[in-house]
Structure 1
Amino acid sequence: MGRSRKGRDISGWLVVDKPAGLTSTAVVNKVRWALQAKKAGHAGTLDPEATGVLAVALGEATKTVPYITDALKAYRFTVRLGQATNTDDAEGEVIAQSATRPSDTQIKAALGHFIGDIMQVPPKFSAVKIDGQRAYKLARDGEDVELAARPLWVDELVLTDRPDPDHVELEMVCGKGGYVRSIARDLGEALGCYGHVRELRRIWSGPFEAEEGLTFEQIEALAHTPELDAHLRPTAHGLADLPELRATAEGAARLRNGNPGMVMAADVDYGEECWASFDGKPVAVGRYKAGELHPARVFNL
């Protein structure tokens, strides 16, 4: 028999404003320690040198992580023009340089090619798996990493500032799986001048915003106190992009046992993915069919 994990059965979301220099896993571990939680996970990895919103799910909220991972996210970043690096960011080695510096007009015109449905090749130094191994590990070992292009939805990509000829500041809203480093690399190539990410900040992710997040220092200061618990967002915040249905008392009981349960009539389509609530708490996520929700995930709240 396996050993049970120690900690509190605590559920909800803690929004963190991640500092530079830490991995996303390190942030999750700190939050789990500070809240003495049994279970924790995050919705969308940030590179170690990136800052901004990292939403950490506790307990039953971990069941809603896929919906935040799939949600739109916004990034503010600075691209260094004239240099390509092997990591596509400022942490890597410069592998190519150019004296060409495009005008603002040229940059704005090029950005249009990166909006909508695009195909994007992840950075060689990324967590993408190749034959079971992380690409960054293979790249560090000197292997020639070849990664396949992946589809990405880019909702918005705009030039917000040009502080000097070598740097441009951009904001991007995109869907799941987007690599800002790849945008910087490909933009540089499209402009004929090379480019890499100098600074990167995720300003919001689904319903969570960086400016509302706790700093690492605040988490450490409030660790193991009721004050930190007070910062938890409800588990249901992870379901913000799905329609909510109200379950009947009998329906909620059936849903909690993994069976289809009756929900109040709502303006949703047959087969649409929804979530059911009872007494203000999520009961299950599933598909709506003829007055019932057929559960795929059940919450124990």
Structure 2
Amino acid sequence: MARKRKGRDISGWLVVDKPAGITSTAVVNKVRWALDAKKAGHAGTLDPDATGVLAVALGEATKTVPYITDALKSYVFTARLGQATNTDDAEGEVIAESPIRPDDAAIKAALGGFVGDIMQVPPQFSAVKVDGERAYKKARDGEEMALAARPLWVEELLLIDRPDEDHVVLEMTCGKGGYVRAIARDLGEALGCFAHVESLRRVWSGPFQADQGLSLEQIDASAKTPDLDAHIQPLEVGLNELPEVRCLAESVAKLRNGNPAPVIASGVDYGEEVWASFDGQAIAVGSYRGGELHPSRVFVR
């Protein structure tokens, strides 16, 4: 018989302003401990040296993680021109150098090639699986891999500062699965000067903003107290990209049991994915079909 996981049954979102030097998994573990939460997970990994928004889902909110992962997100990053590294960031070994330093006009012109629907090859040091093993593990063993290009939607890529001739500060808004390190690498190649990411910050992810985030010091200081609970955002925030329909009282039990049930909807297309609420609380996510919700995920609290 499986052991029952200990902890509180709490559901919602806690936004962390992740510092550099710690993994996303370690942040989740810290939050779970501080809240004595039974279940927690994050919506989108940040590299250990990256900072910014790490949205931690608690309890039933973990069922809404895919909607945050799929949402647009924004990064501000500094690219070091003139050097390529084997990791595409400052932690790696320099593998190529160039004396070329393009001017701002050339950089702005090149950025247009990275906006819209693009294909992106992940960094060698990435979590992409190759033959059942993470690419970064193979890369650490000195193996060079031919990783397949992946589609990425880039909403916007802007030059926002040029501190000196060796550095550019860029802001990118993109969809799911983007590697900022790959953007810097490919931009350097397009400009003929090489480049890698020197620093990276995620400033927002879906509905979550960096200025909402708690520091690890704040989490430590208020751990196991109602003060920390007060920062938990509702589960429903993770569903704001989906249309909302409303449950009838008699539909709640049916939906929670995974069965189709009548809902009240306005402006929703047949077959569209929606979430259903009753008294403001999420009951289920599913497909809207002719006045009924056919649930694919249900929330039990």
- 1:98 corresponds in structure 2 to 98
In structure 1, the residue matched to 2:138 is 138
1:230 aligns with 2:238: no
The equivalent residue for 2:298 is 298
Which whole-Å CA distance do the structure 2 matches of 1:300 and 1:271 have between them?
Answer: 24
Aligned counterpart, 1:113 = 113
**TM-score, normalising length from structure 2?**
0.99
**2:167 — aligned with what?**
167
CA distance in 1 between partners of 2:181 and 2:214 (Å): 26
SS in 2 for 1:68: helix
Residue type of the partner of 1:3? R
Could you tell me how far apart the structure 2 residues matched to 1:166 and 1:35 are?
A: 44
RMSD over aligned CA atoms reads: 0.5
Q: Which residue of the partner structure matches residue 125 of structure 2? A: 125
Q: Deviations over 1:113-139 (max 9, x none)?
A: 000000000000001110110000000
Q: Which residue of 2 aligns with 1:76?
A: 76
- 1:134 and 1:290 map into 2 onto residues whose CA distance is 44
Who is 1:152 aligned against?
Answer: 152
Cα deviation, 1:59-79, whole Å, max 9, x if unaligned, reads: 000000000000000000000
Q: Distance in 1 between matches of 2:246 and 2:265?
A: 8
SS in 2 for 1:263: strand
Q: Is the partner of 2:63 in helix, strand or coil?
A: helix
Post-superposition, which runs of at least 4 consecutive aligned residues in structure 1 deviate over 2 A?
A: none
The amino acid across from 1:142 in the alignment is G
**Secondary structure of 2:264 counterpart:** coil
Q: Determine the C-alpha separation between the residues in 2 that align with 1:149 and 1:256.
A: 40
- 1:128-151 CA distances to partner (integer Å, 9 max, x unpaired)? 110110000000011112210000
Q: How does 1:211-222 map to 2 (within 5 A)?
A: 211-222=211-222
Corresponding residue of 2:57 = 57
1:25-51, CA deviations, whole angstroms, 9 ceiling, x for partnerless residues? 000000000000010000000000000
Equivalent residue, structure 2, for 1:277 = 277
Bigger Cα displacement from structure 2, 260-269 vs 129-138 = 260-269
Matches within 5 A, 1:232-251: 232-251=232-251
Deviations 1:152-177 (A, max 9, x none): 00000000000100000000000000
User: Residues of 2 paired with 1:173 and 1:144: CA distance?
Assistant: 30
Tell me the equivalent position of 2:27: 27
In 1, distance between residues paired with 2:192 and 2:265?
Answer: 57
Please, which runs of 5 or more residues in structure 1 have no aligned partner? Answer: none
Count of residues paired in the alignment: 301
TM superposition shift of 1:266: 1.2
CA shift for structure 1 position 265: 2.9
Q: Percent identity?
A: 76
Distance 2:288 2:188 in 1: 46
Partner letter of residue 4 of structure 1? K
**Contiguous gaps of at least 5 residues in structure 2:** none
- Structure 2 residue aligned with 1:262: 262
